[in-house]
């Protein structure tokens, strides 16, 4: 299994707005080959710190997703988000192979 973490900080007063966006996400990734799961995590001590975690069955299938037109479309929409402060946020990304479960 392969997992990708995208961690980003939003102003704490905008955390609920961002959580709402993810709760109503397009779900295009859910249809990607090898997709396993999606999680949005909120740091208990720093509520403005959010992490998107994606799980794929293999690195190869994740890479297919990351190179797909649907992936590009979703990320282009993020850049056009009306709140420019949120649109400008760049996440810290970590990609990991699951080695034990």
In the chain, the domains with their CATH numbers are 2-97 (3.30.70.100)
Query: How confident is the model over 76-93, as a mean pLDDT?
Result: 77
Place of tokens 């995208």: 6
Q: How far apart are the first and last CA of the chain?
A: 10
Q: Residue 44 gets which letter from DSSP?
A: S
pLDDT exceeds 90 at position 88: no
**Residue 82, both tokens:** 């009306």
pLDDT exceeds 70 at position 31: yes
- Taking residue 62's Cβ as centre, other Cβ atoms within 10 Å add up to 24
- Rounded CA separation 20/9 (Å): 15
- Output the CA angle 36-31-2, nearest 5 degrees: 30
């Amino acid at each position: 299994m392969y997992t990708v973490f995208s961690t980003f900080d939003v102003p704490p007063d905008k955390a609920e707005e961002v959580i709402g966006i993810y709760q109503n996400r397009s779900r295009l990734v859910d249809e990607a080959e090898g997709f396993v799961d999606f999680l949005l995590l909120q740091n208990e001590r720093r509520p403005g710190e959010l992490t998107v975690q994606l799980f794929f069955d293999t690195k190869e299938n994740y890479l297919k997703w990351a190179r797909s037109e649907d992936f590009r479309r979703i990320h282009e929409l993020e850049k056009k988000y009306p709140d420019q402060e949120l649109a400008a946020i760049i996440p810290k990304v970590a990609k990991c192979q699951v080695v034990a479960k």
